[in-house]
């Protein structure tokens, strides 16, 4: 079983420490929510885990015990996918072309597209329910459609770990539920899905594990009820939360300023 691990990972930008000795371990089948206020270090932690922070100390992040800095960039890309918060698509590539870019780490420089490549692209497009958009120019799609296209490109890689930075930030209610359902089904099929988000109600409903991060430090890790306690919400988010029972028995949070 693969394990992606951060051990006391610290990242500084200039004089400021933006990630302070963060430790986290990720294994199969989890849907992990990374929550915290703006600027708390969620995106930095995701990038560090994806090996996209080149100045990180060598053994701060390991994949199956190997320092990620020692692993070939393409191998990392085949196993760990990162979807940035910026869902801009530059130039009028078609949806099909965008998703096929996901096969980059699998293809040699001179290799033609293989049957496995085509099959992975087809499955990714089907899973994200964007078959009807395949021939459209991706930069003309709506925010929700574009987010699904970018997730499909990530699925085409067939990675074990999928790290998403605020995938639902710009989506309406329906599309954001769609993306969250997709994340849940990915976790159920054995992927590790980590998503940074501000949507605490979504966290409550979907995440199997919650990581609370504040001023660059991981404050607590555990189940929803352990991490999103009244006390931590007040300390970290500076809000008071009323838990109202929802229709399905799950609580719904209503927030008030302190």
Partner 1 sequence: MKARIPLFYALLLPLLFVSAVLAIAIGSTSLGWGTVLRVVAGKLLPASWVDLTRVTHAESVIVWLIRVPRVLVAACVGAGLAASGVIMQALFRNPLAEPSLVGAGAGAVLGGVIAFVAGWSVTSVISLPLAAMAGALIALALVYAMATRGGVTPVTTLLLAGVAAGSLLTAVSSLLLSVNIVNWQMAQDIVFWMMGGLDARSWTHFWLCAPFVLLGLVAAIVQSRDLDLLQQGEETAASFGVDVESAKRMLTLTTAVLTGASVAVAGLVGFVGLVVPHAVRLVLGPSNKTLLPASAVAGAAFLILCDLAARTLHQPTEIRLGIVTALCGGPVFIALLIRRYRDVTTG
Neighbours of 221 (CB within 10 A): 17
CA triplet 50, 66, 53: central angle to 5 degrees?
30
Least distance between partner 1 and beta carbon 218 (Å):
23
- Beta carbon nearer to partner 1, 98 or 183: 98
Least distance between partner 1 and beta carbon 194 (Å):
14
Which residues contact partner 1 by CB under 8 A?
Answer: 47, 50, 52, 54, 73-78, 81-82, 84, 86, 88-94, 97-98, 101-102, 104-105, 107, 109-110, 137, 157
From the list 255, 249, 203, the residue with the least C-alpha distance to 233 is: 255
Q: Supply φ then ψ for residue 91, to 5 degrees.
A: 65, 160
Least distance between partner 1 and beta carbon 168 (Å):
19
Least distance between partner 1 and beta carbon 177 (Å):
25
- Beta carbon nearer to partner 1, 143 or 246: 143
| Beta carbons of 192 and 30 less than 8 angstroms apart | yes
CA distance 189 to 207: 15
- Beta carbon nearer to partner 1, 161 or 206: 161
From the list 136, 155, 159, the residue with the least C-alpha distance to 89 is: 136
- Beta carbon nearer to partner 1, 91 or 244: 91
CA distance 198 to 201: 9
Least distance between partner 1 and beta carbon 110 (Å):
7
Cross-strand partners of 24: 6
* 3-class SS letters over 96-117: HHHHHHHHHHHCCCCCCCCHHH
Least distance between partner 1 and beta carbon 258 (Å):
36
- Beta carbon nearer to partner 1, 96 or 199: 96
- Beta carbon nearer to partner 1, 68 or 241: 68
């Amino acid at each position: 079983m693969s394990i992606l691990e951060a051990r006391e990972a610290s990242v500084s930008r200039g004089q400021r420490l933006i990630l302070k000795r963060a430790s986290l371990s990720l294994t199969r089948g989890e849907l992990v929510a990374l929550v915290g206020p703006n600027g708390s270090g969620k995106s930095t932690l995701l990038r560090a885990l994806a090996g996209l922070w080149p100045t990180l100390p060598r053994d701060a992040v390991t994949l199956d015990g190997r320092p990620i800095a020692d692993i070939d960039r393409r191998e990392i890309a085949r196993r760990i996918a990162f979807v940035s918060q910026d869902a801009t698509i530059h130039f009028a590539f078609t949806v099909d072309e965008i998703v096929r870019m996901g096969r980059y780490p699998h293809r040699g420089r001179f290799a033609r597209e293989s049957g496995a490549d085509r099959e992975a692209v087809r499955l990714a497009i089907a899973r994200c329910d964007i078959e009807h958009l395949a021939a459209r120019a991706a930069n003309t799609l709506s925010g929700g459609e574009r987010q699904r296209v970018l997730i499909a490109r990530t699925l085409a890689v067939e990675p074990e770990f999928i790290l998403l930075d605020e995938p639902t930030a710009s989506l309406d209610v329906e599309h954001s539920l769609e993306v969250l359902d997709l994340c849940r089904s990915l976790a159920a099929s054995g992927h590790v899905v980590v998503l940074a988000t501000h949507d605490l109600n979504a966290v409550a409903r979907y995440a199997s594990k919650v990581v609370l991060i504040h001023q660059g430090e991981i404050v607590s890790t555990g189940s929803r009820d352990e991490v999103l306690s009244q006390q931590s919400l007040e300390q970290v988010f500076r809000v008071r939360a009323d838990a109202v029972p929802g229709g399905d028995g799950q609580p719904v949070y209503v927030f008030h300023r302190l």
